[in-house]
Structures are given as structure tokens and as C-alpha cells.
């Protein structure tokens, strides 16, 4: 292929990646080392009580932002190095907690609380998504052709639903006077408050993630099952291999590249979980790293946003994703080199 033809094919993708991925990422990286603050000045303001003879005036010192000619607040940007990362990680408090043996106090720090839940959420749901997706794919592949289309449609419904809507649907089943909560209260003759229990909310969020993402894994695995070598399966049957042995030694090795692909997608997506926090209103009990970044960008009462700390949180989130992906990427690279030889 000529270079000019290749450039016409690849050029638009490269430009879009630079505009919407590379440049924003570089901007966030730089902002994590900077702190932008409004320029303020101290002024004396005199306030007087109503009245004529008994009027009382009080002079107060107030801090007000300095405005430019267009009426916009002036700001100043200062390079602070790793200060924003230190403020997000709060390593001094972590060191004090470790020295005193108060490990639980570490989870009171927003970043470490978010990291604990994000890792648990990602690593627990990963095998469940893969296992459930594979089970559905095997069931559909062995089902009668006359009902296979209907089963596929029903299985894909959770993946079609908008994430926040799906989370809200499950929330309405359990929160307050939800149908399932009401049935459980009647069954056990006691009051149940799911929204007040952090672990219950965490389990619901994991259940929703598996319910929502497993259909994606099912589609990938079902497509892979169509390419399994039938001669190999028939040979295994003739040799007396059980159904489980055929699955373990023939089907799963054949699907391993797809399993790694699904794992890569799930790790990247689950580690950036955000919809679950919104849908289940779990901010008081469980937060994710993505939610922490959003919360830092939310303006405070004075209208200021912690952009530098939010940028540092975003970069730490990206580093965490890379660390999680390294083992899978190394295995993929080894398999690729092995097949090349």
C-alpha cells in the first residue's frame, strides 16, 4: 500500500486521537503540577445600621476577588510539583495511621476509600462477568435453533439498557419500599434498610455491574464458540472425555484470546466506574476513583474547583488501570510471540 493511501486511511483517526485523547491527557498531566487560584485583595467595608440619631457603623475587613476590565476574576498559576498528588494521597496521615496501627483510619481518607472499593469492585466482578457470560454462551449454543434467537434477545436486554437507567431500576427494587425489600420484610418480619448499609449497597452495585456487562461477554464468547474445531470435539468424545473435560481442555483454550480481550475491556471499564455511584446514590458509603475526580471538580460554595487535585486524581486512576492491564498485556504478548515462532 502506498504511503499516501495509508495516510488517507489512518490520518483521520490519528487526528481525532490527538484532539480528543492525547492533547486532553497532556493538559490534565500538566494541570496536576499546577495550582490556579484567583487573585484576591483585602478591602475595608463599612456597614451602618438604619437610623439617624442612633446609627451605628462597623468597619469590616473582607477578601474580594480582583476583576479584570471585562469583569472576570483574575487568576494566577503556580507550579507546585507533586503537591497536588500529596494532597490527594495524604501520605502523612497514612504514615501516622500505619505507625499507630489504626488501619481503619486510612479508609477514612477519600482516595484510599475510593481505591479500596474500586479494586474490590473491579476484581470481584471480573470472574463473575466472564463466568456468567461463558455459561450463557454455552447454554445458547446448545439450545434448539427454534428458540435460540429469543434467548439471545432476552440475554442482551441488560446490555441495551442505558447504564444509569439500569442502576436506577435495580435500586428501586431494593431501596425504601422496593418490591424485593418489601417481600424480605414480610418474610423475616423485620424492617430492612438497604440504603443505610454500606456493604449491602456495595453488593447491589456489583450485582448490577455483572448483570449489565455479562451480555457483552456472552456475545463475544458465543461468536468464538462458532469457530471451535468440531473434529477436535468429536475426537475428545470418542476418547471418552466428559462434558467438563471437553470444556476445560478444548473450548476454554480455544476461547482464551477472547477471555483475555473481555478481561481487558472489563478492567478498563470497571476501574472507571461512575454510573453505579450515581444510580445507587452511594456517595455517603461507597465512592469510586472516577467519582472522586468528579467531586473534586464540583465547585464549592465560593465557586472554586480543585482542578489540580482532580487532575492528580485522574492521573492516579490512569496509572492504576495501566498496572491492572500489565499482566494481561504481557500474556498477550507472550502468546503472540509464541504463535509467531
pTM of the model: 0.83
Give the model's pLDDT for residue 58. 76
**Contact present, 216 and 159 (Cβ < 8 Å):** yes
Q: Cα angle vertex 290, ends 276, 206, to 5°?
A: 30
Burial 112-140 (b: 16+ CB within 10 A, else e): bbbbebbeebbebbbebbbebbbebbbeb
- The per-residue pLDDT for 143 is 84
**Using the 8-state DSSP alphabet, how is residue 271 labeled?**
T
Q: Which uninterrupted H or E stretch holds 38?
A: strand 34-38
DSSP 139-200: HHHHS-HHHHHHHHHHHHHHHHS-HHHHHHHHHHHHSTT-HHHHHHHHHHTS---GGG-HHH
Q: Which three cell numbers stand for residue 39?
A: 487573585
CATH of 103-340, one of 3.70.10.10, 1.10.3720.10, 3.30.1330.80, 3.10.330.10: 1.10.3720.10
Phi, psi of 35 (to 5 degrees): -130, 120
User: Which pLDDT belongs to residue 41?
Assistant: 75
- The string over 309-340, giving b where at least 16 C-beta atoms fall within 10 Å of a residue's C-beta and e elsewhere, is bbbbbbbbbbebbeebbeeeeeeeeeeeeeee
Q: What is the pLDDT of residue 154?
A: 84
Where in the chain are all domains bearing CATH 1.10.3720.10?
103-340
pLDDT number for residue 75: 76
pLDDT attached to residue 177 = 75
Would you state the pLDDT for residue 54?
67
Per-residue pLDDT of the chain (341 residues; tens, 9 = 90+): 677 787 888 888 888 988 988 898 899 999 999 888 777 777 777 777 776 666 777 777 777 777 777 777 777 888 888 999 999 999 888 888 888 887 788 888 899 999 999 999 999 999 999 999 999 999 998 888 888 888 888 888 888 888 888 888 888 888 877 788 888 888 887 777 877 888 889 999 999 999 999 999 999 999 999 998 888 888 888 888 888 888 888 899 999 999 999 999 999 999 999 988 988 888 888 999 999 999 998 887 767 788 899 999 999 999 999 999 998 888 888 877 766 55
* Angstrom distances, CA of residue 188 to CA of 6, 184, 199, 251: 67, 6, 19, 44
Amino acid at each position: 500500500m502506498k504511503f499516501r493511501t495509508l495516510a488517507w486511511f489512518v490520518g483521520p483517526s490519528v487526528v481525532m486521537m490527538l484532539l480528543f485523547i492525547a492533547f486532553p491527557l497532556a493538559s490534565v498531566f500538566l494541570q496536576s503540577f499546577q495550582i490556579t487560584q484567583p487573585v484576591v485583595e483585602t478591602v475595608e467595608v463599612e456597614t451602618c445600621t438604619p437610623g439617624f440619631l442612633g446609627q451605628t457603623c462597623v468597619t469590616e475587613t473582607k477578601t474580594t476577588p480582583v476583576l479584570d476590565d471585562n469583569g472576570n476574576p483574575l487568576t494566577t498559576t503556580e507550579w507546585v510539583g507533586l503537591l497536588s498528588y500529596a494532597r490527594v494521597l495524604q501520605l502523612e496521615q497514612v504514615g501516622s495511621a500505619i505507625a499507630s496501627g489504626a488501619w481503619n483510619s486510612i479508609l477514612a481518607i477519600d482516595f484510599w476509600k475510593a481505591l479500596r472499593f474500586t479494586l474490590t469492585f473491579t476484581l470481584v466482578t471480573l470472574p463473575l462477568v466472564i463466568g456468567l457470560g461463558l455459561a450463557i454462551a454455552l447454554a445458547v449454543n446448545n439450545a434448539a435453533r427454534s428458540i435460540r434467537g429469543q434467548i439471545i434477545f432476552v440475554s442482551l436486554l441488560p446490555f441495551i439498557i442505558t447504564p444509569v437507567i439500569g442502576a436506577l431500576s435495580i435500586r428501586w427494587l431494593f431501596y425504601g419500599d422496593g418490591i424485593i425489600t418489601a417481600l424480605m420484610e414480610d418474610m423475616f418480619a423485620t424492617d430492612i434498610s438497604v440504603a443505610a448499609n454500606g456493604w449491602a449497597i456495595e453488593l447491589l452495585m456489583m450485582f448490577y455491574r455483572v448483570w449489565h456487562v455479562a451480555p457483552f461477554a456472552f456475545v463475544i464468547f458465543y461468536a468464538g464458540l462458532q469457530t471451535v474445531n468440531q473434529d477436535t470435539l468429536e475426537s475428545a468424545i470418542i476418547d471418552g472425555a466428559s462434558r467438563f473435560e471437553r470444556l476445560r481442555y478444548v473450548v476454554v483454550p480455544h476461547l482464551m484470546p477472547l477471555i483475555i480481550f473481555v478481561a481487558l475491556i472489563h478492567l478498563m471499564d470497571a476501574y472507571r466506574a461512575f454510573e453505579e455511584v450515581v444510580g445507587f446514590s452511594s456517595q455517603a458509603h461507597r465512592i469510586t476513583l472516577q467519582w472522586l475526580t468528579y467531586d473534586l471538580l464540583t465547585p464549592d460554595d465560593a465557586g472554586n474547583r480543585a482542578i489540580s487535585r482532580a487532575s492528580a486524581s485522574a492521573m492516579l486512576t490512569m496509572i492504576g488501570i495501566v498496572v491492572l492491564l500489565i499482566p494481561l498485556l504481557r500474556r498477550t504478548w507472550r502468546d503472540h510471540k509464541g504463535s509467531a515462532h
